[in-house]
C-alpha cells in the first residue's frame, strides 16, 4: 500500500496536565504539517492566537520568520506531508504558545487504509476541555483549577470571573469538533483557514 493511501491513528496528549487532556485522531497521510497544526487547534479547542512548532526526530518544523535571527530557523511546515515524517510507533512533539509552553505529545498508534470517500481528519475520542489560553502553562492551569474548585480560595471569585461562565474543564464535545473538522485538508478548507488566520 502506498503511504499516500493510508491514514494515521494519532494519540495526542497535553503534557504535564492532570487529569489528562487528550484526543485520538485519524488523519490522512497526505495532509501537510500545516494542516495537522490546524487539525490540532480544532481538536483541542485552541484559538490559534500564538506561535507553534513541531519537533520530529530532532528536526523543528513551523512557520519560518525571515526577521528571526536567533539560531537556525524551523523548516517550513507547509512543505512537508505527514507521509514523509510519520511512522507507526513514532512520536512527535507539538508546542503551542511559546510563553505558556503548551507541549503536546503525539504518538502514532497505527496506520489504517484511507477511506477515499471519508474525511481527511476525524476525532475519534477525547477527554476534557483544553485549558484557558494565557493561564500560565501547566502550572498556572493547576493553580487555576484549585482556585475554581475551592470557594474559600482567595482567588476563587477572580478566577471564576476571568474564565467566564462557560468554562467546564471536564467537558468535551466530540460532535462539535468533527463538525469543525469537516472538509479538513481540502483546498477550500485551506483557503478558509488562511483567510481567517492569515496563515
The string of pLDDT tens digits covering residues 47-61 is 999 999 999 999 999
Q: Is the pLDDT of residue 199 over 70?
A: no
Task: Identify the band that residue 188 occupies on the pLDDT scale cut at 50, 70 and 90.
Answer: confident
Mean pLDDT for the chain? Answer: 91
Check residue 88 and give its pLDDT.
Answer: 96
Residues near 110 by Cβ (< 8 Å), separated by ≥ 6? 8, 9, 88
Q: Walk across the sheet containing 59-62 and list its strands.
A: 75-76, 59-62, 52-56, 91-96, 102-113, 6-14, 22-28, 121-127
d(CA 181, CA 96): 19
Check residue 184 and give its pLDDT.
Answer: 74
The string of pLDDT tens digits covering residues 70-101 is 678 899 999 999 999 999 999 999 999 999 99
Domains in the chain (CATH in brackets) are 3-130+170-197 (3.10.290.30), 132-168 (no CATH)
- Residue showing cell 483557503: 191
Record the cell numbers describing residue 99, joined without a space: 510563553
Q: Is the pLDDT of residue 189 over 90?
A: no
Q: Is the pLDDT of residue 123 over 90?
A: yes
- Indicate whether this model's pTM tops 0.95: no
| Chain centroid offset of residue 149 CA | 26
What string of DSSP letters covers 141-163? HHHHHHHHH-TTSTTHHHHHHHH
The string of pLDDT tens digits covering residues 142-185 is 999 999 999 999 999 999 999 998 889 999 999 999 999 987 77
Q: Is the pLDDT of residue 197 over 60?
A: no
d(CA 85, CA 61): 11
Cβ–Cβ under 8 Å, residues 50 and 99: yes
Cβ–Cβ under 8 Å, residues 129 and 43: no
Cβ–Cβ under 8 Å, residues 91 and 99: no
Task: Identify the band that residue 64 occupies on the pLDDT scale cut at 50, 70 and 90.
Answer: confident
d(CA 167, CA 45): 12
d(CA 27, CA 121): 4
Torsion sign (Cα): 85, 14, 103, 15:
negative
Q: Is the pLDDT of residue 1 over 60?
A: no
Amino acid at each position: 500500500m502506498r503511504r499516500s493511501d493510508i491514514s494515521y491513528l494519532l494519540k495526542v496528549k497535553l503534557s504535564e496536565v492532570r487529569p489528562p487532556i487528550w484526543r485520538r485522531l485519524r488523519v490522512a497521510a497526505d495532509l501537510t504539517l500545516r494542516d495537522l497544526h490546524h487539525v490540532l487547534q480544532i481538536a483541542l479547542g485552541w484559538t490559534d492566537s500564538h506561535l507553534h512548532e513541531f519537533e520530529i526526530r530532532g528536526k523543528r518544523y513551523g512557520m519560518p520568520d525571515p526577521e528571526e535571527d536567533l539560531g537556525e530557523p524551523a523548516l517550513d511546515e507547509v512543505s512537508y506531508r505527514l507521509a514523509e515524517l510519520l511512522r507507526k510507533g513514532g512520536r512527535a512533539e507539538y508546542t503551542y504558545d511559546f510563553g505558556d509552553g503548551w507541549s503536546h505529545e503525539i504518538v502514532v498508534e497505527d496506520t489504517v487504509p484511507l477511506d477515499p470517500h471519508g474525511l481527511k481528519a476525524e476525532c475519534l475520542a477525547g477527554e476534557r476541555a483544553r485549558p484557558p489560553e494565557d493561564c500560565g502553562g501547566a502550572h498556572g492551569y493547576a493553580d487555576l483549577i484549585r482556585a475554581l474548585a475551592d470557594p474559600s480560595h482567595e482567588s476563587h471569585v477572580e478566577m471564576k470571573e476571568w474564565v467566564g461562565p462557560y468554562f467546564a474543564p471536564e467537558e468535551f464535545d466530540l460532535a462539535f469538533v468533527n463538525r469543525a473538522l469537516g472538509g479538513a485538508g481540502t483546498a477550500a478548507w485551506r483557503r478558509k483557514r488562511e483567510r481567517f488566520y492569515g496563515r
